[in-house]
Structure 1
Amino acid sequence: MLPPARPEEVTDLPEDIALLHHFANTEDLRGFVAHGQRLTAHDVLATPADLERWLREHDLLGPGEPVGDAHLARAHALRAALRDALRQDGEAGEVLLDFPWQVKLTALGAQPVVCGDPVTTALARIVVAALTVTANGTWHRLKMCPASDCQWVFYDRSRPGRARWCSPLLCGNRMKTQAYRRRGATQTP
């Protein structure tokens, strides 16, 4: 089975998890061969037009809203912070993201509201998704593959929630084989 070419090819994810998964994987660092198909690293959000298209495809932005370089820089910072937080190696630090928040109080409770232009508000919906999955206890199921030539963000569907690799048959096998070869090379007299 080939790995997904696009994050949107991964289906059956909870709504907020899907948004985070799709956004984090707009930076695709995979650079290996899988079943004869070469995966090459690329950035889906390379230009403001790319960001505009992605936000529209994910129903976060309406038509006619201009997306500029500052928005793209904010999106890249948000994505980097999200990916750092999802690393399994424990090297993620704390990141403060600058969004203009207010809190709306109603009879149903408190709700964060972003006070900004439509693009900033669209990006803030990704932050709200991260807060939601943290609050509902599903954040720990969203992980980044530790293979240096992969780093694909995946949703851990395993029962105990301890999956390490995005694909045990691809990345897991590749990394274990490399470790085995390194051990063999150092043990040879």
Structure 2
Amino acid sequence: MAMDATRTTLSPSAAAEAVLAFVNTRAIDGSREQLGDGVSFAQWLGQEGLVGPGSLVTDADAAAARELRDALVLVLLAHAGEEDGEGRAGAEEHLRRSAQLYPLAPVITATGVQLLPTGGGVPGALATVLAAASDVALRGAWMRLKACRNPPCHLGFYDRSRNSSAAYCSPNRCGAQVAMRTYRTRKAQEDGR
């Protein structure tokens, strides 16, 4: 993940895809929780190439990963316009603590700079997620990484709209659900008068 502050594009970088892959490990629309325990987290880490076969991954590691993921989801919800000041502040503080727990080191070459984990195993894998988030931010695309504002969904997505105004992962699915809930609530209030 080269750190190169280039112009924002409407297509996600590999780093953005990596952050979204991590954020979207939650059980959404009938999918299974991929960070539910050490075994499922180890499977996900192996699929993503973040740890080698036989790496020790515990239930405590899975819990730490879920906490990191939840903090990222709250920040991505803020990118989508969801206002939760206390929740967001707590998430940002958790991300600061995570940066201390899962440190990165700059690796400078003639062709660029990369942030790489200083360790391996699960801490190195979680540091890789933080490195990917840093890469996205340095590319100027951090605000395009969002979480769907539809409460049951919160799926992470890359906002490809020209003006970066998307708030839902799918306007036809989640956007329509929110509009219908808003309409029904307004209609019930009008009928109650």
**Equivalent position of 2:83 in the other structure:** 90
Cα distance in 1, alignment partners of residues 163 and 49 from structure 2: 33
Q: Shift in Å at residue 162 of structure 1?
A: 0.7
Q: CA offsets, 1:112-148, max 9 Å, x none?
A: 4433342211111000000110111111111111111
1:101 aligns with 2:100: no
Identity rate, percent:
32
Q: Shift in Å at residue 74 of structure 1?
A: 2.1
Structure 2: give runs of 5+ residues left out of the alignment: 1-10
**Equivalent position of 2:154 in the other structure:** 151
Structure that is richer in helix per residue = 2
Cα distance in 2, alignment partners of residues 16 and 107 from structure 1: 19
Higher RCO, 1 vs 2 (CA within 8 Å, ≥6 residues apart):
2
Q: Are the counterparts in 2 of residues 99 and 114 from structure 1 also a CA contact under 8 Å?
A: no
- The 10-residue stretch of structure 1 (149-158 or 96-105) with the greater mean CA deviation from structure 2: 96-105
Q: CA offsets, 1:45-100, max 9 Å, x none?
A: 11111111111111111222211233222212211111111113132122221425
Q: If the length of structure 2 is used for normalisation, what is the TM-score?
A: 0.78
Q: If the length of structure 1 is used for normalisation, what is the TM-score?
A: 0.79
**Equivalent position of 1:57 in the other structure:** 47
Q: Shift in Å at residue 41 of structure 1?
A: 6.4
| Pair 1:178–1:116, CA change in 2 (3 A) | same
Runs of 4+ in 1 over 3 A off after TM superposition: 102-117
CA RMSD of aligned residues (A): 2.1
Aligned residue for 1:27, secondary structure, equals coil
Structure 1: give runs of 5+ residues left out of the alignment: 1-11, 31-38
Cα distance in 2, alignment partners of residues 68 and 140 from structure 1: 33
Q: How many aligned positions are there?
A: 169
